[in-house]
A and B are shown apart, each in its own frame.
Chain A
């Protein structure tokens, strides 16, 4: 059974960089079929797609966050990472990692497996 687990600091100071890792178990992140994504949910609010990546290096970012977001992969550790720079209180959210079973740009892509999420608070 595929499992995804987010990890990283729960508190980040304003203007600093948020860094999270998603470790995949029960499957290979290097699969040619799947893409991997980050999604966030501010407290009491809805879901927002942050970006996605393929193990080969292709990345896709939400234009509203572009310029601040970097998603990368470490196939040797079977994990992928999120970096969000210049954070503000508006970046306080539950951050989820998830899997796409098809390319994000395919028009029919969805998220079939999710991690349990990790809460990141931006505060001094």
Chain B
């Protein structure tokens, strides 16, 4: 059972917009701690996609965006492409655990 809750799967057709939610609680997202997102393509290591709630590292397309409100955060992907098919994980800090926590991951399927 992950500290941060994500939907197990989402799907969308090419060109569409999808969102992935990440729900936390008062010791983590609700306490104001930043949320970060990772993309894990099949058989590869996770890659930082969004940091500090809504910042993209160099090289990440602006089709990817993040937001945070209250005890939840969201990752939005616009103009969906086949290459976006991957697992996506959110991550934050949890003060009760004094460490990083991850969501359980969401598998994105491009139809």
Chain A residues with CB under 8 Å of chain B are 37, 46-49, 51-52, 60-63, 96, 104-112, 114-117
Contacts and interface: CB of A to CB of B under 8 A. Distances in A.
Contacts of B89: 46-47
Interface in B61-93: 89, 91, 93
Contact of B46 (A37, A63, A114): A114
A104 to B, nearest CB: 6
Contact of A60 (B31, B38, B99): B99
A46 B104 CA distance: 5
By CB atoms of chain A within 10 A, which of B36, B46, B98, B99 has the most? B99
Interface of B: 2, 31-34, 36, 38, 44-48, 51-52, 57, 89, 91, 93, 95, 97-105
A65 to B, nearest CB: 10
Contacts of A107: 31-34, 93, 95
A80 B30 CA distance: 33
B52 A108 contact: yes
B51 to A, nearest CB: 5
A112 B100 contact: no
A105 B102 contact: no
Given A107-B33, A110-B34, A46 B48 contact: no
Contacts of A116: 44-45
Contacts of B97: 62-63
B99 A112 contact: no
Contacts of B100: 37, 49, 52, 104, 109, 111
